[in-house]
């Protein structure tokens, strides 16, 4: 799956996106994999929401390799 990073999370990861293979993962598993790749994400976990294919993911969502996943830190538009 394609995982997108925005705003200050880009500074943490040093990149705007990454490829991850974790078919069938739930949010907890996905986070485990993301933090393994970028330990700096850990401290943002509580404030970041996950999006799945451009919609906020439900708490019990399962993620698939074809999904576009995005980490949405607190927003500040307007």
Partner 1 sequence: MQVEVQLTYAPIPSEVPPPAPATGAGAWVEFRGLVRSQENGRAITALEYEAYEPMAEREVRRLLNELGARYGCLAARVIHRIGVVPVGQAALYVGIAAEHRAEAFKLLTEFMDRLKQDVPIWKRRAIPAAEIGGVSPHPWVGVSMPGVDRGPGEPARPADVLGLLRRLCGQLEAERLPLAQAIGRVLREPVCAPEDLPPFDRAAVDGYAVRLDDPSTEFRVVDVIRAGAWQPRKLDRGEAVRIATGAALPCEGLQVLMKEDVQTTGDTIRVNRRTADRNIRTRGEDARAGQRLVEPGSVVTPGVAALLAGLGRVEVWVTRLPRVRHIATGNEIVPPAQAPAPGQIRDSNSILVRAFLGQWGIVPQQTLLGDDDAALRAALRNLEPGLDLLLISGGASVGEQDFTRRLLDEAGFVVHVSKTAARPGRPLIVAQRGSTLAFGLPGNPLAHLVCLNVYVRAALQAWSGSTASDDFHRGVLAGELATDRSQQETFWPARSDCAEGTWMLRPLPWRSSGDLTVLARANALIRVPTGAHRFVPGSWVEFVPARPAL
Residues of this chain that bind partner 1 (CB under 8 A): 2, 4, 6-7, 10, 14-19, 51, 53-56, 66, 68, 70, 72-73, 75-78
Compute the least distance from the CB of residue 55 to partner 1, in Å.
7
Compute the least distance from the CB of residue 72 to partner 1, in Å.
5
Residue 43, φ and ψ in degrees, nearest 5: -75, -10
Residue 1 · residue 21 · CB < 8 Å: yes
Closer residue to partner 1 in complex, CB, 35/72: 72
Compute the least distance from the CB of residue 60 to partner 1, in Å.
20
Please classify residue 17 by burial: count the beta carbons closer than 10 Å to its beta carbon, then call 0-12 exposed, 13-18 middle and 19+ buried. Answer: middle
């Amino acid at each position: 799956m394609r995982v997108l990073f925005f705003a200050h999370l880009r500074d943490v990861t040093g990149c705007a996106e990454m490829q991850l293979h974790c078919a069938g993962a739930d949010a907890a598993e996905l986070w485990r994999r993301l933090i393994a790749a970028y330990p700096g994400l850990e401290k943002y976990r509580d404030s970041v929401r996950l999006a799945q294919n451009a919609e906020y993911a439900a708490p019990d969502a399962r993620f698939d390799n074809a999904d576009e996943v995005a980490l949405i830190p607190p927003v500040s538009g307007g």
